[in-house]
Amino acid sequence: MDIIHTPTNKVFVVLSRTHTKIWKGNFEPGSVPTSLAESHKDKDYRKVLNQFLSGRNRSKLDPHFAEKVALELKGFDYIYLAGGGKGKASAVQNLATYLREHHHEMAKKIRAIQDIDAENMSDGELLAVARKMIIHDL
């Protein structure tokens, strides 16, 4: 059985500055992800980010958004996360930390976290990263 080509109980999540893409089970070229956009409730905070940091700082992870992502991850046994940023600005690390703090069982299912330049990659390139992460996890 080929784990890459068959729909599986794996999920691949890519977090970027502006949105999150989630591929569920199918990582073949042309697969369509679920897209989530973070609703910006703290407009003053976001205004400062956009003015001075071009929105790059994700040190303040919106708990409502993190819960929306967590809801999409329910039921999967293998979670693969990818995204950019370093330290406090790493959206993917912030999500992993949030899951460890609020969804212990789900956090245990994280198999790999990859640092990538998600802003400048096509969906095909992102799916190639997913397949590589899964193959290295076998």
Between CA 107 and CA 103 the distance in angstroms is 6
Does residue 137 or residue 10 have the better pLDDT?
A: 10
The tens digit of pLDDT for each residue in 81-114 reads 999 877 777 889 989 999 999 999 999 999 999 9
Q: What is the pLDDT of residues 17-69, one digit of tens each?
A: 778 999 999 999 999 999 998 765 566 656 665 555 555 555 567 788 889 99
Segment 9-22 mean pLDDT = 90
pLDDT of residue 60: 61
The pLDDT of residue 89: 76
Q: What does the pLDDT read at residue 90? A: 84
Above 90 in pLDDT, residue 10?
A: yes
Report the 10 Å Cβ neighbour count for 132: 15
β-strands 78-83, 34-36 pairing: unpaired
Q: Which CATH architecture has domain 10-137?
A: 2-Layer Sandwich (3.30)
